[in-house]
Amino acid sequence: MIQHIRENRRLQGLLLIFPAMFVMVMLLVIPLTLTVITSFGQRDADGNVIYTFTLENYWRLLGFTEQGWDDLYLRILLRSLWLAVQTTVIVILMAYPLAYFIARSPEKRRNFLLFLVLVPLWTNFVIRIYAWVMILRSQGVLNSTLAATADLLNVPFQPLDLYPSQTAVLIGMVYEFLPFMILPIYTSLEKIEPSLYEAAADLYANAFRTFWRVTVPLSMPGIVAGTILTFIPVIGTFVVSDILGGRQVILVGNLVQRQFLDARNPPFGAAASIILLVMTLVLTLYYTRRFGLGEEIAAG
Amino acid sequence: MNQRRFWSALSALLIAALIGAACAAPAQAPATTGEPATGASDCPEPNPRLEVTSRQVNLFVWTEYIPQETIRCFEQVYGVRVNKDEYSSNEEMYAKLSAGGANYDLVQPTDYFVPLLIRQGLLQELDKSRLPILDSLDPNYLNLDFDPGNVYSIPYQAGTDAIIVNTAVVDPIPQSFADLWNPVYAGRLVMIDDSRAIIGATLLALGYDVNTTNPAELEEAKVKLAELARGIKLFDSDSPKTALIAGDVDLGIVWTGEAVIAKREVPSFEYIYPTEGAILWQDNYAIPKDAPNLDAAYAWLNYSMQGDVFWRMLEEFPYTNPNLAALEYAKENHPELYEEYINSNITNTPPEELQRGHRIRDVGDATPLYDRVWTEIKGG
To the nearest whole Å, the CA of A205 is away from the closest chain B CA by 28
- Asked if B372's CB is within 8 angstroms of A263's CB, the reply is yes
Element (H, E) at B114: helix B114-119
Asked if B239 contacts B193 with a C-beta cutoff of 8 angstroms, the reply is: no
Question: Looking at residue B13, what is its pLDDT?
Answer: 56
Q: State the count of interchain CB pairs (< 8 A) between A and B.
A: 140
More reliable by pLDDT, A288 or B144: B144
Full-model pTM: 0.86
**What own/partner pairs with CB < 8 Å and gap ≥ 24 does B289-293 have?**
B289/B121, B289/B122, B289/B123, B289/B124, B290/B103, B291/B103, B291/B104, B291/B105, B291/B106, B291/B124, B292/B54, B292/B58, B292/B103, B292/B105, B293/B54, B293/B56, B293/B57, B293/B58, B293/B80, B293/B105
Going by pLDDT thresholds of 50, 70 and 90, the confidence category of residue A230 is very high
Q: What's the rounded Cα separation, in Å, for the pair B168 and B288?
A: 46
Helix (H, G, I), strand (E, B) or coil at B234: strand
Pick the residue from chain A with its C-alpha nearest to B373: A263
More reliable by pLDDT, B8 or A94: A94
Asked if B142 contacts B150 with a C-beta cutoff of 8 angstroms, the reply is: yes
Q: Which of A205-209, A222-226, B97-101 has the lowest mean pLDDT?
A: B97-101
Amino acid identity at A200: A
Going by pLDDT thresholds of 50, 70 and 90, the confidence category of residue A95 is very high
Question: Looking at residue B27, what is its pLDDT?
Answer: 39
- Asked if B232's CB is within 8 angstroms of A248's CB, the reply is yes
Question: Looking at residue B26, what is its pLDDT?
Answer: 41
φ/ψ of residue B156, rounded to 5: -110, -70
- Asked if A237's CB is within 8 angstroms of B193's CB, the reply is no
Pick the residue from chain B with its C-alpha nearest to A191: B4
Average pLDDT over residues A37-63: 93
Q: Considering only CA atoms, which of B373, B362, B358 is closest in space to residue B114?
A: B362
The string of DSSP codes covering B177-216 is TGGGG-GGGTT-EEE-S-HHHHHHHHHHHTT--TT---HH
Q: Which residues pair with B153 in a beta bridge?
A: B286
Please tell me whether the peptide bond between B155 and the residue prior to it is cis, using omega within 30 degrees of 0: no
Q: What's the rounded Cα separation, in Å, for the pair B219 and B349?
A: 32
Chain B residues in contact with A236 (beta carbon < 8 A): 22-23
Q: Out of A47, A161, A265, name the one closest to residue B94 (CB).
A: A47
Pick the residue from chain A with its C-alpha nearest to B22: A237
To the nearest whole Å, the CA of A13 is away from the closest chain B CA by 23
Question: Looking at residue B291, what is its pLDDT?
Answer: 96
**What own/partner pairs with CB < 8 Å and gap ≥ 24 does B218-223 have?**
B218/B366, B218/B369, B218/B370, B218/B373, B219/B373, B221/B373, B222/B373, B222/B376, B222/B377
Asked if A253 contacts A235 with a C-beta cutoff of 8 angstroms, the reply is: yes
Q: CA-CA-CA-CA torsion for A134, A138, A142, A147, nearest 10 degrees? A: -140
Question: Looking at residue B31, what is its pLDDT?
Answer: 46
Q: Considering only CA atoms, which of A264, A126, A172 is closest in space to residue B97?
A: A264
Supply the angle between the helices B3-23 and A216-236 in degrees, to the nearest 10. 20
Asked if A189 contacts A219 with a C-beta cutoff of 8 angstroms, the reply is: yes
Q: What's the rounded Cα separation, in Å, for the pair B57 and B44?
A: 19
pLDDT tens digits for A154-195? 988 888 989 999 999 999 999 999 999 999 999 999 999 889
Q: What's the rounded Cα separation, in Å, for the pair A167 and A176?
A: 14
Q: Is the pLDDT of residue A99 over 50?
A: yes
What residues have CB less than 8 Å from A55, skipping those under 6 apart?
A40
Average pLDDT over residues A196-202: 90
Question: Looking at residue B15, what is its pLDDT?
Answer: 56
Portion 75-94 of A in contact with B at CB < 8 A: 75-76
- Asked if B7's CB is within 8 angstroms of A183's CB, the reply is yes
The conformational region for residue B191 under phi > 0 = left, psi -120 to 50 = alpha, else beta, is beta
Q: What's the rounded Cα separation, in Å, for the pair B183 and B251?
A: 13
Percent of chain B surpassing pLDDT 70: 89
Question: Looking at residue B34, what is its pLDDT?
Answer: 46
pLDDT tens digits for A246-257? 888 889 999 999
Question: Looking at residue A152, what is its pLDDT?
Answer: 93
To the nearest whole Å, the CA of B274 is away from the closest chain A CA by 25
How many residues comprise chain A?
Answer: 300
Q: What's the rounded Cα separation, in Å, for the pair B219 and B208?
A: 12
Chain B residues in contact with A190 (beta carbon < 8 A): 4, 7
The interface pTM score, or ipTM, of the predicted complex is: 0.82
Q: Where are the alpha helices (DSSP H) in A26-165?
A: 30-39, 56-61, 72-103, 107-118, 125-136, 141-153
Portion 116-145 of A in contact with B at CB < 8 A: 118, 121, 125-126, 137-140
Q: Considering only CA atoms, which of B301, B330, B300 is closest in space to residue B314?
A: B330
CA-based max dimension of chain B: 77
Pick the residue from chain B with its C-alpha nearest to A118: B14
Element (H, E) at B126: none
Low-confidence stretches of chain B (pLDDT < 50) are 1, 20-39
Q: Out of B22, B246, B374, name the one closest to residue A262 (CB).
A: B374
The string of DSSP codes covering A161-222 is --SSSHHHHHHHHHHHHHHHHHHHHHHHHHHS-HHHHHHHHHTT--HHHHIIIIIHHHHHHH
Q: Out of A114, A262, A296, name the one closest to residue B195 (CB).
A: A262
